[in-house]
Amino acid sequence: MENQDTLRRLKTVEGHLRGVIRMVEGDAYCIDVIRQIQAIEAALNKVSSQILENHLNSCVTTAIQGNNKAERERVLKEITEVFEMSTKV
């Protein structure tokens, strides 16, 4: 069910992106285009947060509760890398 919600949200973003492309092709007012891009970014951030939450509640939890130290370290490193990448532009 979580996958279906994620796909629905991504398809909505895809539709919005197509709309922005049409706006640019139609020489729409720049501020309107920027506002639509910001809405797309917010929607993608929401999808990303949901995917991360699901990952934390499944893969990471399993690894942390397991006996494999290397696996625990690997998943924690992945999370750190995701946060580091989120601060880069």
Q: For 26-52, what is each residue's pLDDT tens digit?
A: 999 999 999 999 999 999 999 999 999
* Domain residue limits at 20: 2-86
Structural domains of the chain, count: 1
Confidence of residue 22 (pLDDT cuts 50, 70, 90): very high
The CATH number linked to 62 is: 1.20.58.1000
Confidence of residue 89 (pLDDT cuts 50, 70, 90): low
Tokens found for residue 75: 């998943």
Following DSSP, what letter does each residue of the chain receive, concatenated?
-HHHHHHHHHHHHHHHHHHHHHHHHTT--HHHHHHHHHHHHHHHHHHHHHHHHHHIIIIIHHHHHSS-HHHHHHHHHHHHHHHHHHT--
pTM of this structure: 0.81
